[in-house]
Structure 1
Amino acid sequence: MTSEQTIPQVRLGATGPVVGVQGLGAMGMSEFYGDTDEAAARDTLEAALEAGVTLIDTADIYGRGANEEFLAPFVAAHRDQITLATKFSIIRTDDPSYRAVRNDPAYIKSAVEDSLRRLGVDVIDLYYMHRRDPAVPLAESVGAMADLVREGKVKHLGLSEVTGQELREAHAVHPIAALQSEWSLFSRDVEQSAVPAAVELGVALVPYSPLGRGFLTGAFTDASKDLSEGDFRRSQPRFSGDNARRNAALLEPVRSLAAAHDATLAQIALAWVQQRAAVHGLPVVPIPGTRKRSRLLENVAATRIVLTESELDLLEPIATQVAGSRYSDMSLTSAARED
């Protein structure tokens, strides 16, 4: 490993782990984005570590546990070199359309044991509440998570898709190291209240889908035509039909900047996330997902791109013009609970 290959590091939260400024989302290595090549995915994990990508992100619902099991051999081989993040709370069944959320303490205590077993570890570095169930008092959920820290089963706590007020409430119960929410040129809901709260509390942001689920890379223009039947993006409002055509046109300034920097669209989109966070004075570790070594190295190279203020201004209007919601059902996102 050479210094040219490694990326800078940042701390998650005031006392959280130090990780590379870009992480890796492992979800697509098991499902949601069509068929996967496990050998290529394992090679991508090795390439990530070689490049200084040390935050590896998974969740218990990815592949209904299969993603955690897939990562276990890699984790065992490199345990001291990586920061392992997983999540609990979303319930799935054999019905692919079914989703439920549980945040009650009994479930949390059960879920962590299942994740520890599948991952083959004694402790999880960063444990997220994947989605919030407003019916359960947040203090109860975070209190149960804090118990896991005291028991030595979890090192640091995270939340996903919460509002600024929810983040403050949780942080008052136990320090929160990281907030994971969707943040990209196409999705800026998080800036409404969560980003200011994170800055105030010293919580790092871990943006998922920083490449707009691949749409910002130009890899596809209409999910219903370009992607396989098993790809969940076919059901997302932004990526098909009239919405897709309108949104594809919004990529023109991204293409322009990519040409100016001799970069790809993906690299410009990732550089924007890094620098948008810097505007707020916020530690940020985006977790683009990929199953290919070449894409991983392309994404990592984005950490070396610096956009000028005028270039950032050129990209500023994009999110306000995006057609379609992030999900077909937004009820489980923080946007549904903003005042």
Structure 2
Amino acid sequence: MTHRSDPTSSSEGTGNSRRDILTMAGLAGSALAVGAPLSAAAQRAPAARPASAASVTTSRGAIGKTRKLGALEVSSIGLGCMVGSAYFLPFPGRQRMISVIRDAVERGVTFFDTAEVYGPFTNEEVVGEALAPFRNKVAIATKFGFAFRDGKETGRNSRPDHIKQAVEGSLRRLKVDAIDLLYQHRVDPDVPIEDVAGAVKDLIQAGKVKHYGLSEPGPNTLRRAHAELPVSAVQNEYSLLERSPEGQILSICEELGIGFVPWGPLARGFLTGRFGEGTRFASDDWRSTIPRFFPDNMKGNMALFAVVDAWAKRKGITPAQFSLAWLMAQKPWIVPIPGTTDPWHLAENLGAAAVTFSTADLQQIAADLARAPVIGPRVLDPSTSANGVEARQR
């Protein structure tokens, strides 16, 4: 089938099939609390999976648990807000995204992620409006690092003067006096990271930024940045389908006391069970460019999803909950930020905070994953990737 995201979808996957799974996992009661109607299929579905501890945590405000990203304390699961404005069409509409963000606050989420490039600019505006009533209760992360012309992104730019200009725009759109966590969105190979960290340090001293982060940095650049200004968090793609951070980056974070924020923790919906080997993405869907989702590779990667699905059934939870809980089980300073525009899936994702694994569980999961290798590269042309870039020396 050819797939396009619908207005109730998210970058992490949606559709009645996932909603039915959520219902069968015992989450229907909490989903109904936010006014989402049961689909006809969900009403007919048998209780194929038992309710688990995860289902209990989806009542409002019940997430409760926090984690540390450096010195910044946030909810153990955050919300990636990008899906409201960027990359996955059609967008849900401003009011729907505001509603989901505010629902997340009521459910105990205190960590919200956006960036100036999402839109560009419009996502920060939505997040700012949504969180204005809760400003003292939440932490907002945003990102700089791109240049724009006529409302379009034109390439990387992390020159110190541009960083300070970008932050002024983000502060205005977010309706805040200070940004809780400011990431360099991608490393600019033409600007020494010491100059970038120095600009952020100036912003911290001016009271406009509280914590410093990097997204997808090269390992040497991460060390150099931290030596100049303590890095609170690294944000990289990390999921059961993309485990490259398990090389150097997670080790460096552990060594230096840096938190880690996985983006794409549900592999753009793959780990929810929404897609299968017959899925074909429309040309205007970003996933159509990802080699792991090309037809032959997708077919091969279904072996990995079979591992996820089997473990989810064993634990009495959904594949999405298993995938998020597995990430959090890797390190106590990992905070995933699944994105969604659907209150059902928000409730489902937050249920992962209650899932636990024994040491024996984690060992067996690792053995099972080893028998289901990921098929296909992360990007089509690694030579042009903005991930893992090293900044030039001073």
RMSD, aligned CA: 2.4
What is the CA–CA distance in structure 1 between the aligned matches of 2:301 and 2:174, rounded to whole Å?
A: 38
Structure 1 vs Structure 2: percent identity of aligned residues? 38
What is the CA–CA distance in structure 2 between the aligned matches of 1:126 and 1:152, rounded to whole Å?
A: 12
Q: For 1:245, what is the secondary structure of its paired residue?
A: helix
What is the CA–CA distance in structure 2 between the aligned matches of 1:204 and 1:56, rounded to whole Å?
A: 15
- Please name the residue that 2:300 is paired with: 246
Structure 2 residue 205 is matched with structure 1 residue 150: yes
Match of 2:272 among 217, 242, 251: 217
Question: Within 5 A, what are the aligned runs for 1:216-235?
Answer: 216-221=271-276, 225=280, 227-235=281-289
The CA deviation at 1:35 is 1.4
Structure 2 residue 246 is matched with structure 1 residue 194: no
- Please name the residue that 1:62 is paired with: 118
Cα deviation code 1:190-247 (max 9, x no counterpart): 121111111111111111111111111111236962x455321111111121111111
The CA deviation at 1:99 is 5.6
- Please name the residue that 2:195 is paired with: 140
Match of 1:124 among 167, 175, 179: 179
- Please name the residue that 1:284 is paired with: 334
Consecutive unaligned residues of structure 2, counting only runs of 5 or more, are 1-57
The CA deviation at 1:156 is 0.8
The CA deviation at 1:257 is 0.8
What is the CA–CA distance in structure 2 between the aligned matches of 1:179 and 1:36, rounded to whole Å?
A: 27
Counterpart amino acid of residue 129 in structure 2: P
What is the CA–CA distance in structure 2 between the aligned matches of 1:239 and 1:91, rounded to whole Å?
A: 30
The CA deviation at 1:94 is 7.2
What is the CA–CA distance in structure 2 between the aligned matches of 1:79 and 1:35, rounded to whole Å?
A: 29
- Please name the residue that 2:91 is paired with: 36
What is the CA–CA distance in structure 2 between the aligned matches of 1:134 and 1:59, rounded to whole Å?
A: 20
- Kept in 1, the 8 Å contact 2:221–2:390? The answer is no
Query: How many residues are aligned here?
Result: 329
- Please name the residue that 1:101 is paired with: 156
The CA deviation at 1:291 is 0.7
Question: Within 5 A, what are the aligned runs for 1:74-93?
Answer: 74-91=130-147
Q: For 1:86, what is the secondary structure of its paired residue?
A: strand
Structure 2 residue 74 is matched with structure 1 residue 19: yes
Q: For 1:18, what is the secondary structure of its paired residue?
A: strand
Question: Within 5 A, what are the aligned runs for 1:200-211?
Answer: 200-211=255-266
Counterpart amino acid of residue 141 in structure 2: A
The ranges of structure 1 where at least 4 consecutive aligned residues each deviate by more than 4 angstroms after the TM superposition are 1-4, 92-96
- Kept in 2, the 8 Å contact 1:9–1:18? The answer is yes
Cα deviation code 1:151-190 (max 9, x no counterpart): 1111111111113322221111111111111111111111
**TM, length-normalised to structure 2:** 0.78
- Please name the residue that 1:325 is paired with: 377
Consecutive unaligned residues of structure 1, counting only runs of 5 or more, are none
Residues 4 and 55 of structure 1: is their aligned pair in 2 closer, same or farther, counting only changes over 3 Å?
closer
Report which structure shows greater RCO (CA 8 Å, sep ≥6).
2
The CA deviation at 1:135 is 2.2
Cα deviation code 1:252-296 (max 9, x no counterpart): 111111111111111110011001124xxxx11110111111111
What is the CA–CA distance in structure 1 between the aligned matches of 2:176 and 2:251, rounded to whole Å?
A: 34
- Please name the residue that 1:71 is paired with: 127
- Please name the residue that 2:63 is paired with: 6
Max Rg structure: 2
Cα deviation code 1:16-66 (max 9, x no counterpart): 221101100000011212213233322211221122111100001001111
The CA deviation at 1:117 is 1.7
Question: Within 5 A, what are the aligned runs for 1:154-193?
Answer: 154-193=209-248
Q: For 1:180, what is the secondary structure of its paired residue?
A: strand
Q: For 2:135, what is the secondary structure of its paired residue?
A: coil
Match of 1:307 among 357, 365, 370: 357
Counterpart amino acid of residue 53 in structure 1: V
What is the CA–CA distance in structure 2 between the aligned matches of 1:146 and 1:35, rounded to whole Å?
A: 38
- Kept in 1, the 8 Å contact 2:189–2:390? The answer is no
Counterpart amino acid of residue 8 in structure 1: K
**TM, length-normalised to structure 1:** 0.90
